[in-house]
Amino acid sequence: MATVKSIAAAAGVSPSVVSAVLHGSKHVRVSEATRARVQRAVDAAGYVPNHAARALRLQRTGVLALVLPKLDNPVYHRLVDGIYDAADAHGYSVLLGDGIRATSGSLMLQRMVGGGQVDGTLIRPGATISEDVLTQIRAGGGPIVILDDVSAEDHWVALQDELGAYLATRHLVEKGHERIAYLGQTRYQHDRVVGYRRALSESGLPAPDDYVIHSLQGTHDGYERFPTLLDLDPRPTAVLVNNVTTAVGVLAAATDAGLTVPDDLAVIGYHETTIAADLRPSLSTVEMPLYELGRVGVDLMHTALTGEPVDSHTITEPLPRVIERQSTA
């Protein structure tokens, strides 16, 4: 059976170099040529690292907790993909939790903060995750990585939300719209409101306060808040909806109100999902790098768990991009 020592002998390197390659350690400097040679030896031997034994040596569980505001939101599909791929690469498994159920005193919360059952927690903030819950998770002692937000207390990795909303609004401006509303969360996505207002300001267009309409992020929330758009005077000709699932509800409400999209109202949703292309009219979106957000979040968590300095930062590549479809064509 292949061992680290036999892999080292085959590659002509020391066991410490093999270990560094297998576990992504930055404490041992390894050239790309050496890394490739070690990987070829690993592949040839069919060697599989024993993550359980390594976790026992390091007094870790090898489990990361992930808490999302709502698990049924399809926007998180690519985010979770990035998290799972990076977790696999680093040898972790993932305990997935719904923010709605991660309440004070819940079994889920107890598992995240008590008994050392998880090594660290990745959190995507949202309306369903209270400050009390965040405080209890922090009290558990393990590292926390906040996804898509900046934190003064925890490690974090963020998206360019202001730029994403700016590009989406610019898209509507370039389509000739002068009365553009914003519908969606205003507390946890404040940067998106800033980007929306900046695009209008640069174009010399108004952004009345009542054109910014607060809404939660479910499909039904978009449907229920849609009449507020109709009551505005003058009525907007376009709307940026800051979550694609909420935008689905807006499209349904517009149809039920007898409006034609995009002739009577152009709609663009924030984030990209597979369903956006299948709707009729198909939904224009602004695509954000959610896969990269998840992957980098796990990389930061792994860095924190190995005791190295963590570089919290905003993802700048790839850039947000507008995907134009029928709802704004």
- The answer to whether the Cα torsion of 291, 103, 134, 216 is positive or negative is positive
Stretch(es) of the chain classified as CATH 3.40.50.2300 = 59-159+290-314, 161-287
CATH of 4-49, one of 1.10.260, 2.115.10, 2.60.40, 1.10.3470: 1.10.260
Distance CA 277, CA 272 (A): 9
Q: How distant, in Å, are the alpha carbons of 32, 84, 221, 287, 292 from that of 78?
A: 29, 10, 23, 11, 9
161-287 fold: Rossmann fold (3.40.50)
pLDDT at 294: 96
pTM, to two decimals: 0.78
Q: What order do you get walking across the sheet with 93-98 strand by strand?
A: 93-98, 63-68, 120-123, 144-147, 155-158, 313-314
| Angle in degrees, CA 58, 145, 137, rounded to 5 | 80
Whether the CB-CB separation of 259 and 232 falls below 8 Å is answered with no
pLDDT at 67: 87
Stretch(es) of the chain classified as CATH 1.10.260 = 4-49
pLDDT at 262: 97
pLDDT at 112: 59
Distance CA 289, CA 292 (A): 5
**Strand partners of residue 184:** 214
Query: Judging by DSSP bridges, how do beta strands 321-323 and 284-287 pair with one another?
Result: antiparallel
My answer on whether omega of the bond before 262 falls inside 30° of 0, hence cis, is: yes
| Angle in degrees, CA 195, 197, 200, rounded to 5 | 110
Distance CA 302, CA 137 (A): 18
pLDDT at 57: 46
Domain 59-159+290-314 is classified in which CATH homologous superfamily? Response regulator (3.40.50.2300)
Find tokens 């507008």 and name the residue.
Answer: 322
| Angle in degrees, CA 32, 159, 89, rounded to 5 | 35
pLDDT at 68: 87
pLDDT tens series, the chain, 329 aa: 677 788 888 889 887 788 778 766 555 577 888 888 988 888 888 776 655 445 444 556 788 989 888 777 888 999 999 999 999 888 899 987 766 566 555 666 666 565 567 899 999 887 666 777 777 777 777 899 999 988 888 999 999 999 999 999 999 999 999 999 999 876 667 899 999 999 999 999 998 999 999 988 889 999 999 999 999 999 999 999 999 999 999 999 999 999 999 999 999 999 999 999 999 999 999 999 999 999 999 999 999 998 889 999 999 999 999 999 999 98
